[in-house]
Chains A and B, each alone.
Chain A
Amino acid sequence: MTRRRLPRLLPLAFALLGGLAWADGPSADEVARQMLARDAFGWESGTLRARLVLTTADGKRDERAFEGASKRAPGVVRTVVRFRAPERVAGTAFLLVERDGGQGEQHVYLPAYHTTRRIAGREREGSFMGSDFTYADLDRRDLRDARYALLPDEKVGEAACFVLETSPKAEGSPYARVVSFLRKADFVPLRVQFFAKDGKLAKTTSTRRVRMVDGKPVVVESHTENATTHHVTDLIVDEIEPHADVPDSAFEPAALERG
């Protein structure tokens, strides 16, 4: 299998790879480039099995299991997410297509209707399957097509971090800015703060567990809390299969129907 540029496997995971050490302080653009390059498992294709654990402010929990598969082709990364449980959402599937240059598309398959539909622009601001992630978070266009600035270094726990401020260029972005705390040793995002258009903190994603997979650090559990509602989404990766042999045909809208 030919390795090209580092592909993404699952945008939700904010997975980063181990990488370079910077002796004399990288620029904001360099940090951003490293962050985006490490927003991947580093494999041509792969699969994972994971769960979204949703917790309301009063402690009510809901869990949704899903599988993901991703594959890179020249100029495009495709990701399929299929929900397996609970029964009410089982069979619902998403296809996320990211093209170089910021163009992307999202499709959803609704098993009750046996139809696949595109997801429109404003829908990108909506909640993804009841979680604290938006559809816009999935394609990370707001992080890729943005202006970057480095804020003073900070620590998360004992880990020294670059603090990267990202200001999305796109008018339709739900965020005014995103602040990422990237561990200097490997650019793993230990904390990401999302600020709404009104400047207020919207939510914070914190990394809880990192696992070395195939020699690369991968975020396998993250914790996202909505700053207003205190709704929480824990994303837990149960199983990762790097280099999985996933056929191209799995990433067509028609293939979402396989459930």
Chain B
Amino acid sequence: MRRAAASLAALFAAAPGPARADDEIIDDPTVAATPATPPRPPPPRRIWHAELMARATTQLAWEAGKDVLEGRTRARLWVADAPDERLAYTIGVRFDALSRTARADGHFVDGAHTFEARPWEAWVDVALADRLRLRVGNQMIAWGKLDVASAADVLGALDLREGPAVEPEALRIPTPSLRATYAPGERFVFEVAYTPFFTPHRFDVAGTNWALVGPSAPAAARATVTRLRGSLDATSFARVQGDLLALGAPSARPDAGEVGAHATWHAGPADVDLTYGWVRSKVPALELDPALPGALAGDLASLAALQRDVAAGAPLVAARYDRYHQLALDTELAAGPVTLAFEVGYTPSRPLAWLDATGLPRASAAALAQAGARVAWVRDERLALSLEVGAFGTPTRAPAGASWLLLGDARALGYAALLAHAEPFEAHEVDASITATTSEPWSLAVLPRWTYRATESVGVGVGAALFAGPRSEAPTVASLARGLDVVYAQVVYRP
């Protein structure tokens, strides 16, 4: 009935679209009439964007009955303009607000509020010649074909403060970079990028749900801090925490930057990419006060030396972001109903973490090889599935008979990740990821999220993170339920 009414209305409506006087109107009596399209000029090329996301998250599995409650609000404002195909630019800012508190023994403690405003994507992209483009400014460079662990993603800095529950658009951090793209022929593309000011991954050290020493951190890291807290007096531990918190902000100097090169060969049904990077480790390698391990072992002389260092203002923990060379080869091709991607990567020497006899993290140089594959299937933009498997391995043994963190005695780590997106009903979206690793201890993480698009601009959702492995004895449904670790509710507004 409604359709019939619409058809009747269309019969008496003006010709759809911004018709011009000289347009020829085709008279086809068999065309099913629809309501006329309101005439209007094309939308402006300069588009203002805004995004607001508010999320409340809580912990349900914090040790000793302690919960972390946190509220994050993220706002992004940016304008994008592309006057023509030779020039495009964007300017954006991002604001983050965090309020958090912990609950212990029925009381809220350690409340804190932070706010930060920083430039976001802000770049100019210009075609210098027919086959040469240059992009200058704060930008994201995402090379590689794998979604979870790409060997080619050498220049990408990530925001890890919301762990695996992060929204995809909030994961990457733009970095000030200069990027040139040159296509000497129809089949080859060559890119070079220089990031003069090094930007590491961002993470919280303590106090939030996904902090390095928070409840969702690897068990080894939490054990280390627990031990540290028990071995040092309150002043020294506070100092160590302060040093740890400062690790996320190394000084930015042009000579401390990174460079990368990326070549693509369009080989018929496949793209083949070769990537090289002379880059820095995006996570810090820790250098401890020499007296710290002895102090943790209960050596009185070391304890005394440590207290002297603290009194003298010497840093107990320092961070290095060592440079290393990285090579990666990847390919992506369409094969029947799926898209396949393969990657291999190798670095002859890069810092890897290991735990010394006292349980403290150290870093030493080691070779690292990695390989991975991804298969993706998409149907009607309402269902997308992706399965990625990969492995890391090193031939280098950890010093002093220790084991590499995560790689363990086997000096290898495997992972598998299933990512899914579905829109089973109008306005309803379901996202889920299931990730398993062979780390020691092994782990399984399941992150479901449901979103309801209340309007074209507003989406509300709830999500959770469930873990098995380090916290549970076996990967059963029951163990996953016991591992329910994080639940959150969020609102996203995109006007």
- The answer to the question of A4 belonging to the interface, with a C-beta cut-off of 8 Å to chain B, is no
* Contact between chains at B269 and A105 (CB < 8 Å): yes
Contacts of A197 in B (CB 8 A): none
Check B181 against A254 for contact (C-beta < 8 Å).
yes
Q: Is the CB of A58 within 8 A of B269?
A: no
Which residues does chain A contribute within 8 Å of B266, judged by CB atoms? Answer: 105
A130 interface contact, C-beta 8 A: yes
- Contact residues in B for A59 (Cβ distance below 8 Å): 2-3, 5-6, 35
| Known contacts A121-B334, A247-B129; A208 and B181 CB within 8 A of each other | no
Q: Nearest-CB distance from B250 to chain A (Å)? A: 24
Of B37, B43, B129, B131, the residue contacting A85 (CB under 8 A) is: B43
Nearest CB to that of B43 among chain A residues? A65
Q: Are B127 and A250 in contact (CB under 8 A)?
A: yes
CB pair A247 B337 closer than 8 Å = no
Q: Tell me, in angstroms, the Cα distance from A249 to B49 when the chains sit together.
A: 26
B106 is an interface residue with CB less than 8 A from chain A: no
Contacts of B271 in A (CB 8 A): 118, 253
Q: Complex formed: what's the CA distance from A204 to B181 in Å?
A: 42
B376 interface residue (CB < 8 Å to A) = yes
B133 nearest CB across to chain A (Å): 5
Chain B binder among A9-17, A25-33, A36-44, A228-236? A228-236
Which residues of chain B come closer than 8 Å to A250, judged between CB atoms? Answer: 85-86, 127
CB-CB under 8 A for A130 and B381, given A209-B19, A249-B132: yes
Quick check: B189 and A230 within 8 Å, CB to CB?
no
Q: Decide: B43 and A84 in contact? CB cutoff 8 A.
A: yes
Chain A, 199-253, CB within 8 A of any chain B CB: 204, 206-212, 217, 220-221, 223, 225, 230, 232, 234, 236, 238-239, 244-250, 252-253
- Interface of B with A (CB < 8 Å)? 2-3, 5-6, 15-20, 22-32, 34-35, 37, 41-43, 45, 47, 49, 80, 82, 84-86, 88, 90, 125, 127, 129-133, 135, 140, 142, 147, 167-169, 172, 181, 183, 186, 189, 191, 264, 266, 268-269, 271, 332-339, 376-381, 456-457, 494-495
The 10 closest A-B pairs by CB, nearest first: A122-B337, A157-B27, A247-B127, A236-B17, A238-B42, A120-B334, A49-B42, A120-B339, A210-B24, A250-B85
A residues contacting B by CB (< 8 A) are 47, 49, 51, 53, 55, 57-59, 61, 65, 67, 69, 73, 76, 80, 82, 84-88, 90-91, 103, 105, 111-115, 117-123, 126-127, 129-130, 156-159, 190-191, 204, 206-212, 217, 220-221, 223, 225, 230, 232, 234, 236, 238-239, 244-250, 252-255, 258-259
| Interchain residue pairs with CB less than 8 A apart (12) | A58-B3, A59-B5, A65-B42, A76-B186, A85-B47, A90-B47, A117-B332, A126-B379, A211-B24, A245-B85, A254-B264, A258-B135
